[in-house]
Chains A and B, each alone.
Chain A
Amino acid sequence: MPAHRSIRDFDWLMVVLVCAICALGVLQIFSATKDTRFAEAWWKQAIWILGGFVALWIGTLVDYHSLLGQAYVFYGLALATLVATFVLGMTAFGSRRWIGTSAFHLQVSEFVKLVVVLLVARYLSELKGEELELRDLLKLASLVGLPLILVMIQPDLGTALTFVPILGVGVFLAGFRWQYAVAILVLVAVAAPIGYWVVLKDYQRARVVSFLDPNQDPKGSGYQVIQSKIAVGSGALWGRGVTKGTQTQGRFLPVSQKDFIFSAFAEEHGFVGVIVALGLYFLLLMQIVQNAQTAPDKAGMHICMGVAALLLFHVLVNVGMVVGRMPVTGIPLPLMSSGGSNIVAMFLMLGLVNNVRLRRFVN
Chain B
Amino acid sequence: MELIRIGVLGITSAILILILKNHRPEMGLQISLVFGAMVMVFLASRIRTVLDLIGIYVDRADISGVYISTLFKIIGMAYITEFAAESCRDASQNAIATKIELAGKILIIITAMPVITSVMNIIIGLL
A and B associate = no
